[in-house]
Chains A and B, each alone.
Chain A
Amino acid sequence: MIQHIDYAAVAPPLILAAAALAVLLADAFGLPRRALAWASAGSLAAALAAVLVLAAGDRRATFCLPGGLRGGGPASCSYVADRFTLLFQAVVLIGAIVVVLLSAQEIADADVPAGEYHFLLLAAVIGAVTLVAARDLVLLVAALETLSLPVFALVGLRRYDGAASEAALKLFLFSVVSAAVMLFGVSLVYGATGALHLDRIAPALDALPDDLDPVAAVGIVLVLGGFAFKIAAVPFHFWAPDVYQGAPLPVAAFLSVVSKAAGFAGLAVVLALGFPAYGHVWGPLAGVLAAVTMTLGNLMALRQRTAIRLLAWSSVAQSGYMLAPLAVGRDHLPEAVAATASYVALYAVMNLGAFAVLTGARRRGPATPHADTLADFAGLARRAPGTAAALAFFLICLAGLPPGVMGLFAKVVVFRATLAGDVTWLAVVMAVNTVIGLYYYLAWAVRLFTVPAEGTADAAYAARPGLPVRAAIAAAFGGAIVLSIAPQLVLQTVAAAG
């Protein structure tokens, strides 16, 4: 039996795969770093163009069960390119392009092998792009691993650096454990329902015999746990601060934006399409996880002294906000998924911006554990007014205050979805958390405008960031301003996709 493959639907990952191999080969032939970076960015842009073309057309699906095997069930396609998928693919690809822009400086400074770096990055993006399109559990797990594996190497790519190696090992261990947990969960769900495609699991769970009920429930909880690692939710969050600090900054940005966006898309797809019948199980669980995650993330972020660890913990806290709408369970689920999706998309812009500024304002030269403390940002407004203004704006967006209307709307959407599902307590927890979050974002933003103390003015900070980094900052800043004036651009797209 020959399966028909819709190559147009899988074009984005295909383009990236070809490009990844080409980059690796080209490096072997000794092409300059600059050319590799351009090739990498170009292929991402090409994939993005493919996504945009697909978005103009209808929903496409491929790798479906052939007619003879369906047995009267639904079409059961493994790879679906609907509007939701395409939206997240676009977010992932745009994020990846910004990461490539940020990488140039890092590769030159830390003497990272450029070919491997870009190859691994592209490979991880393939995983992310596939993950958001996956509609069966096997492809989902495979994509998740494709996303995770290259990242270990990326984190540890800065050779002879203890912090990087430690971070890579930590990430690896966490990832392996969570993958095992998730696989176990998948096998339980498979055992209970006899299906791997999400559109078959859903009806099977609806009509599950009572004695299989606990099996399916445990399986679902374990699958949720696997995703909790990817999105750095409590209790799988411990890796985040150390890894963000040890990894090269662009890789940290990748983890906190691209990888997280893909994780959330996958989670939303699994819960909404596969497990709606067990909303009473994963709904409250997601609620509790969200509450604990945002509270812990915010409280820990309060205590941080270095910029990167602060961003790491704040990104844990932001995961909590994104997870919160999913606490509604089965009712109002489309609305909740749309809220999560909007938050992820808006968050990607602001957080990438913050990381871009961090990369630009970073101390040059060999990394030391105590570099880039928040105190080092004092007086940035004098050294580089534009960069400081951009960072202040991103921070205010993350805090969710005007003039960062974008962040405010992200919060509004999430609050609304949570309240629509009658999870009022979570909304109150979120309200309190917003205040905690505001404190450290604002304290940092204020620092930018203060006068630095004597003797801390370091020549290493004076260097201007390179052109690609400035382009990345400008792009994120522009995006943040546009979305602050017209947040409906994202909200509308998400509503149409939901």
Chain B
Amino acid sequence: MMALPLLGALALLVPAFLPGDDAVRRFGVGVSGATLLVALSALTAFDFGDPARMQLEVDRAWAPSIGLRLHLGADGISLPLVVLTALLTFLCLLYTVKHPPGDGRSVRLLVALVLVLEVGLLGTFTALDMIVFFVFFEVVLIPMYAIIAIWGGAARRAAATKFILYTLLGSGLLLAGMLLVAVNAGTLDLTQLARTHGAGVPRGVQLTAFALMGLGFAIKAPMWPLHTWLPDAHTEAPTVGSVLLAGVLLKMGTYGLVRVALPAAPAGAEFWAPWLGLLAVVGIVYGALACLAQRDLKRMIAYSSVGHMGFVLLGIATLTPVGVNAALFGNIAHGLITGLLFFLAGAVKDRYGTGDLDELGGGLLASAPRLAALLTFACVASLGLPGLAGFWGEMLALLGAYRPGGGLPRGVFLAFTAVGAAGAVLTAAYFLRLLARLTHGRPAGRAGPGGGAAVSAYEYAAWAPLIALTLLVGLWPKTLLDVTTAPVRALLGGG
């Protein structure tokens, strides 16, 4: 599955291969489409009767002297994310066919970078060995850095630098934490670590290790107050970059928490959970308040990500199957909805040449009805309207926080629930404010470079799957919850 985009990216590095930008773009679509097909076939090959078991495993020795094995596989936790990654990459490349970012900058390089990015993401979500996980975790950095730094907006260099410094600091701490567990538990294998459930690792070590890993993942997620790289990166990144960044990259942080940090250092998790919950709740409220103050469309969506990831982190902090399930659900829902939001924001920016709400003025519903309708749909989904994907993640997270895992202070979590719910209301407030300012009212006299161009077929093609899935997951949450529940229970020690 990963070999495909990797080979595609390597092929693109050969200059003589596929002359002409159009061919390159179509090639990118082809490769990522094929990857998506492989991911979908993995979906069909997956035995849904037993989602807690690692399936489709690859296990080979890589560097036996340090006990390193190339161990990949998927279970109910990672499978939805794998499919999401493949889907979003495919849609991004499809979108690029007709809407390449930047002018005159090499499309070939962009496609190659996106494919490398996909390799890293898929690898992260399937790795079952700590070092392999870490390697793939890092593979993602350079292509994303380049995408922001080359195709970004005016302040791209600073944003890209901030992005990579922040995330690399996280990676360094993460590596220290993972190896700390590894040398004490004597294995690098994540499945084994999950099985022994922290046995044999002293409590003090677990506390330190979880703090280190938690910090690493929290930067990636991002958790307040470590989120400051995110709005900059999002604002400056091209549409494709934003979509992948929000849709999948952020998930690496929360996925890592669930996959690596929880099972490897359960005692540490229990100790730090209230703090994690506190920061998550602060993130929810802070994200919402920051959104209310934003003038830029992309920046606002970026801050809304901070809020949404706050819900995800809150879910994880409860350490209950309900909460963690909510977190995984929220991950997927956020990936779908925010991906769609960034696509739409990019489309708005392309058409009017600005993302500034004041300059855009109101009346989008009148001047570009289709686009405005889609935007409304995405915003409503994002604010958590029941029946759409965003709702279940938030609701379940709050529910989980209402009944936190044994050993956690209930009173504190009750407070978290209340504040989190207030945050959800604020979320609704800012999205409605956005809609009121942007879509309603009289169309202002503005003519961007693209004018009010109609939504193109490629845009429809890129957005329709996201809309359909948002509806599907929102109306039948069971499709997703069924897959994740069993492995989450196994991960939390049979809970």
Q: Which of B158-184 contact A (CB under 8 A)?
A: 161, 164-165, 168-169, 171-173, 175-176, 179-180, 182-183
Binds A, one of B133-141, B309-317, B462-470: B133-141
Whether, in the assembled complex, A430 has its beta carbon less than 8 Å from a beta carbon of chain B, the answer is yes
Whether, in the assembled complex, B64 has its beta carbon less than 8 Å from a beta carbon of chain A, the answer is yes
Do B135 and A431 have beta carbons less than 8 Å apart? Answer: no
Do A446 and B180 have beta carbons less than 8 Å apart? Answer: no
Q: Which of A420, A434, A488 contacts B62 (CB 8 A)?
A: A488
User: With A427-B179, A438-B168, A491-B66 given, is the CB distance from A446 to B149 under 8 Å?
Assistant: yes
Whether, in the assembled complex, A412 has its beta carbon less than 8 Å from a beta carbon of chain B, the answer is yes
- In the bound assembly, the distance between CA atoms of A432 and B68 in angstroms comes to 25
- Residues of B within 8 Å of A439, CB to CB, are 161, 165
- Residues of B within 8 Å of A402, CB to CB, are 120, 135, 138-139, 141-142
- Residues of B within 8 Å of A420, CB to CB, are 183
- In the bound assembly, the distance between CA atoms of A414 and B171 in angstroms comes to 15
Do B173 and A428 have beta carbons less than 8 Å apart? Answer: yes
Whether, in the assembled complex, A457 has its beta carbon less than 8 Å from a beta carbon of chain B, the answer is no
Do A431 and B169 have beta carbons less than 8 Å apart? Answer: yes
Q: Which of A457-497 contact B (CB under 8 A)?
A: 487-488, 491-492, 494-496
Do A491 and B65 have beta carbons less than 8 Å apart? Answer: yes
Do A488 and B64 have beta carbons less than 8 Å apart? Answer: yes
Do A434 and B172 have beta carbons less than 8 Å apart? Answer: yes
- In the bound assembly, the distance between CA atoms of A408 and B135 in angstroms comes to 8
- Residues of A within 8 Å of B182, CB to CB, are 416
- Residues of A within 8 Å of B176, CB to CB, are 415, 419, 424, 427-428, 430-431
Whether, in the assembled complex, B212 has its beta carbon less than 8 Å from a beta carbon of chain A, the answer is yes
Whether, in the assembled complex, A144 has its beta carbon less than 8 Å from a beta carbon of chain B, the answer is no
Whether, in the assembled complex, A300 has its beta carbon less than 8 Å from a beta carbon of chain B, the answer is no
Do B63 and A492 have beta carbons less than 8 Å apart? Answer: yes
Do B64 and A492 have beta carbons less than 8 Å apart? Answer: yes
- In the bound assembly, the distance between CA atoms of A442 and B145 in angstroms comes to 10
- In the bound assembly, the distance between CA atoms of A442 and B65 in angstroms comes to 31
- In the bound assembly, the distance between CA atoms of A405 and B164 in angstroms comes to 17
Do A435 and B175 have beta carbons less than 8 Å apart? Answer: no
Whether, in the assembled complex, A413 has its beta carbon less than 8 Å from a beta carbon of chain B, the answer is yes
Do B164 and A442 have beta carbons less than 8 Å apart? Answer: yes
Closest B residue to A436 by CB, please name it.
B165
- In the bound assembly, the distance between CA atoms of A173 and B432 in angstroms comes to 73
Do B63 and A409 have beta carbons less than 8 Å apart? Answer: yes
Q: Which of B65, B139, B179 contacts A412 (CB 8 A)?
A: B179
- Residues of A within 8 Å of B183, CB to CB, are 416, 419-420
Q: How far is the CB of A50 from chain B (nearest CB, A)?
A: 26
- In the bound assembly, the distance between CA atoms of A443 and B62 in angstroms comes to 32
Do B142 and A413 have beta carbons less than 8 Å apart? Answer: no
Closest B residue to A421 by CB, please name it.
B183
| Interface flags, B175-213, vs A, CB<8A=1, else 0 | 110011011000000000000000000000000100010
Q: How far is the CB of A399 from chain B (nearest CB, A)?
A: 9
Do B180 and A427 have beta carbons less than 8 Å apart? Answer: yes
User: With A416-B182, A427-B179, A446-B149 given, is the CB distance from A438 to B142 under 8 Å?
Assistant: no
User: With A402-B135, A412-B175, A419-B176 given, is the CB distance from A432 to B169 under 8 Å?
Assistant: yes
Closest B residue to A396 by CB, please name it.
B142
Do B142 and A401 have beta carbons less than 8 Å apart? Answer: yes
Whether, in the assembled complex, A411 has its beta carbon less than 8 Å from a beta carbon of chain B, the answer is yes
Whether, in the assembled complex, A403 has its beta carbon less than 8 Å from a beta carbon of chain B, the answer is yes
Do A424 and B208 have beta carbons less than 8 Å apart? Answer: yes
- In the bound assembly, the distance between CA atoms of A424 and B213 in angstroms comes to 13
- Residues of B within 8 Å of A415, CB to CB, are 175-176, 179
Q: How far is the CB of B68 from chain A (nearest CB, A)?
A: 8
- Residues of B within 8 Å of A408, CB to CB, are 135, 138
User: With A428-B173, A435-B169 given, is the CB distance from A419 to B180 under 8 Å?
Assistant: yes
Closest B residue to A433 by CB, please name it.
B172
Do B165 and A438 have beta carbons less than 8 Å apart? Answer: yes
- Residues of A within 8 Å of B92, CB to CB, are none
Whether, in the assembled complex, B230 has its beta carbon less than 8 Å from a beta carbon of chain A, the answer is no
How many B residues face the partner with a CB closer than 8 A? 32
How many A residues face the partner with a CB closer than 8 A? 34
Of the candidates A411, A416, A420, the one having the most CB atoms from chain B within 10 angstroms of its own CB is A416
Do B138 and A491 have beta carbons less than 8 Å apart? Answer: no
- Residues of A within 8 Å of B208, CB to CB, are 424
- In the bound assembly, the distance between CA atoms of A430 and B182 in angstroms comes to 18
- In the bound assembly, the distance between CA atoms of A419 and B175 in angstroms comes to 11
- Residues of B within 8 Å of A411, CB to CB, are 175
Whether, in the assembled complex, B94 has its beta carbon less than 8 Å from a beta carbon of chain A, the answer is no
- Residues of B within 8 Å of A446, CB to CB, are 149
Q: Which of A424, A430, A442 contacts B172 (CB 8 A)?
A: A430
Whether, in the assembled complex, B84 has its beta carbon less than 8 Å from a beta carbon of chain A, the answer is no
Do B142 and A494 have beta carbons less than 8 Å apart? Answer: no
Q: How far is the CB of B387 from chain A (nearest CB, A)?
A: 42
User: With A435-B172, A488-B63, A492-B65 given, is the CB distance from A412 to B180 under 8 Å?
Assistant: no
- Residues of A within 8 Å of B337, CB to CB, are none
Do B65 and A494 have beta carbons less than 8 Å apart? Answer: yes
Do B172 and A401 have beta carbons less than 8 Å apart? Answer: no
Closest B residue to A442 by CB, please name it.
B164
Q: How far is the CB of B114 from chain A (nearest CB, A)?
A: 15
Do A435 and B168 have beta carbons less than 8 Å apart? Answer: yes
- In the bound assembly, the distance between CA atoms of A434 and B169 in angstroms comes to 8
- In the bound assembly, the distance between CA atoms of A432 and B176 in angstroms comes to 11
- Residues of A within 8 Å of B141, CB to CB, are 401-402
User: With A439-B165, A487-B63, A488-B63 given, is the CB distance from A412 to B131 under 8 Å?
Assistant: yes
- In the bound assembly, the distance between CA atoms of A409 and B169 in angstroms comes to 17
Q: Which of B65, B135, B142, B172 contacts A432 (CB 8 A)?
A: B172
| Interface flags, B62-101, vs A, CB<8A=1, else 0 | 1111101000000000000000000000000000000000
- In the bound assembly, the distance between CA atoms of A443 and B160 in angstroms comes to 11
- Residues of A within 8 Å of B212, CB to CB, are 428
- In the bound assembly, the distance between CA atoms of A413 and B142 in angstroms comes to 22
- Residues of B within 8 Å of A419, CB to CB, are 176, 179-180, 183
- In the bound assembly, the distance between CA atoms of A416 and B62 in angstroms comes to 17
Q: How far is the CB of A398 from chain B (nearest CB, A)?
A: 14
- In the bound assembly, the distance between CA atoms of A492 and B180 in angstroms comes to 22
- Residues of A within 8 Å of B149, CB to CB, are 446
Do B63 and A491 have beta carbons less than 8 Å apart? Answer: yes
Closest B residue to A399 by CB, please name it.
B168
- In the bound assembly, the distance between CA atoms of A419 and B180 in angstroms comes to 6
- In the bound assembly, the distance between CA atoms of A446 and B150 in angstroms comes to 10
Q: How far is the CB of A10 from chain B (nearest CB, A)?
A: 30
- Residues of A within 8 Å of B63, CB to CB, are 409, 487-488, 491-492
- Residues of B within 8 Å of A430, CB to CB, are 172, 176
Do B179 and A401 have beta carbons less than 8 Å apart? Answer: no
Q: Which of A387-411 contact B (CB under 8 A)?
A: 396, 401-403, 405, 408-409, 411
User: With A435-B165, A438-B164 given, is the CB distance from A413 to B173 under 8 Å?
Assistant: no
Closest A residue to B63 by CB, please name it.
A488
- Residues of B within 8 Å of A416, CB to CB, are 66, 179, 182-183
- In the bound assembly, the distance between CA atoms of A427 and B165 in angstroms comes to 18
Closest A residue to B13 by CB, please name it.
A389
Do B65 and A431 have beta carbons less than 8 Å apart? Answer: no
| Interface flags, B313-352, vs A, CB<8A=1, else 0 | 0000000000000000000000000000000000000000
B positions within 8 Å CB-CB of A: 62-66, 68, 120, 131, 134-135, 138-139, 141-142, 145, 149, 161, 164-165, 168-169, 171-173, 175-176, 179-180, 182-183, 208, 212
> 20 more A-B contacts (CB under 8 A) besides A412-B179, A424-B208, A430-B172?
A396-B142, A401-B138, A401-B168, A402-B138, A405-B135, A412-B134, A412-B175, A416-B183, A424-B176, A431-B175, A431-B176, A432-B169, A442-B145, A443-B161, A488-B64, A491-B65, A492-B65, A494-B65, A495-B66, A496-B65
Give 16 A-B contacts (CB < 8 Å), ordered by A residue. A416-B183, A424-B176, A424-B180, A424-B208, A428-B173, A431-B169, A432-B172, A435-B169, A435-B172, A446-B149, A488-B62, A488-B65, A488-B68, A491-B66, A494-B65, A496-B65
List 7 tightest A-B contacts by C-beta distance, closest first: A431-B172, A495-B65, A488-B63, A427-B176, A402-B139, A420-B183, A435-B169
